[in-house]
Structure 1
Amino acid sequence: MHVVRAAGVAPHRAYVPLEIKPVSWFDIPHDAASPLRRRAPGPHGSPPGPPSRSLLPPTEAPVTKQVRAALTRRALIRSAAIVFEQHGYGQARLALISSGAGVSTGALHFHFENKAAVAQAVVTEASQGLLDVSTSIRHGTDTALQALVDTSHALVDLLGRDPVTRAGFRLSCDGERAGEPGLPVQWRCCVEELLNEAAIAGTLADGVSRQDATAATVAATTGFEVLGRYDSQWLSAQTLTGFWQLLLPRLATPEILPLLDPSGTRAAVDAVAAGAAAQGVAAGRAGHGTHGVEAATPI
């Protein structure tokens, strides 16, 4: 077709409609030098606006959820220890445990299937606490017998102020759970191991039965816990020091006896303080529940 146009007039161009396609997140190019994605310019070529929260990868959310769940579990275990101590295993109610931790019963069942699972978690945490303390003390002492004395002082201190440790002892002797492994078994294993180590090192006196020495130590410290429920003096450092002043001359060789301190050494104090500091950090982050235990935001 022949087109006639006036001089100096640009030719008319046919209108071509602009095809607009939706842009997917995966179609937007990534900037390798920046953790943020590039964004298409705004209307009429204006600078791009602020990034949409929905376009940013949710990298922090899973970590926050995990921390919150861990704090909730810790709060539940501590609340359960208090409830078991006050009411016994048989009379303890899950609703009371959850309210003491400041969470719902649904949050409790997210972590624990039933009351037996909660009780087992209390025992496990108490046993792990004793293991951590005894390991720390052994690394900080020169002899197995001194480590035994120091660990007993740390244990008695925990029994006097930590509900999880007390519950770990009592749950193994309480009604429906009687006879199940608990903190007394863990303590007995610790005593046996240290006395065996002392015998191998030659610091255990001749003629001493390791079995009898283990029984005497475990029976005495367990008895202190039972009596301490009604009179806190039984769980005092003074009472335990008197016990070791009586027993150490029979256990230790004459050469090692003057080097032993029946009142415990700095290793026991440091080990207990380290455990308390770790619990204090968690408690500070979690807050406080209705029982004065660590509470956390429900998951």
Structure 2
Amino acid sequence: MRRVTSHPEYVDPIDISRHDGWIAIMDTRGTDRCTWLSGMRHIPPITDLVSVSLTSSVRNNGRRRFFRPYLLDRHGDRGSYFGQRINDQGSGEPGSGDYNDPEWNGRADPRFSFDSTKIVYWEEQTFAPACGSVNPLPCYASKERDGIRQRIVVATLIGREPRQPPKVEIASDDVPWGKPYVPGVETPAPANLPAGNYTLDGKFSGAARVELLAFSETNPRINQVSVTYNIFSDDGDIFLIGTERVIHQQVDTYTQYYDWHSDLTQMIGSVVNTKKTGRGGIQMLMDFTVNNFSANGTLVTTLDGKDYYQPLNFT
């Protein structure tokens, strides 16, 4: 496996052209929807042990997804290259109905045509309760035929010559590296780190001191992660100091509560970045059945002098 995207915003819908030359993705890059939480890069994914469900869900506000379609070459993100936005045509004004109208949001699963000259994806216009009513964000009338709020877009890559799809060899059902499923066999328990104190040494300098706490003696799942970085660096160019703590509580099957505290400083040459919560941290509630996100408190990530704030409950 090879990682092809590394932008700090959120991506999961992806399609690869039949010739393995290009990648179409749906990503929140360019919207800053997730930058307040994930914009500081090169932090070891330690708090992900309890926070991954939250950090992968703030891309949405109810039905509204903040996805935009991007085209990447086969090598993916690297250096300053983060692909080409596919729907960058228009005024960019909310309610304009243009291809780059921010109130028309990409949904999931873009697809290449068989000859790799077209990409199809679908969009949905923001509607209540993500706008209007008690929400201060205005709702805009659709300019599509009959006022429809969903549309399919076909993007034509005008610089591409059609190519015949390559012949695909039929793969064997016998997967030598996999463990075959046998009906009735009990699913093995996943491997989890036990509660305790750990040290993650930086490959260049410093260390991260980690404390993991479990829900209870009868429930050994980790629900609290505390980490202290002491001049932590893996490459000698980026150094991290400070603390971060995340506590996770399950309200019910699909609603989860997070108490998050950050006081991180990152030094990259002469640039100083920070990720800090206000006094008392920030408390966040997410209902994963409808992707409703609400927060009390503040978390601000400052990157190269620019501040990124968590979205208001209505945005």
TM bin, normalised by shorter chain, reads under 0.3
The TM-score, its normalising length taken from structure 2, stands at 0.20
- TM superposition score normalised by structure 1: 0.21
Higher helix fraction (1 or 2): 1
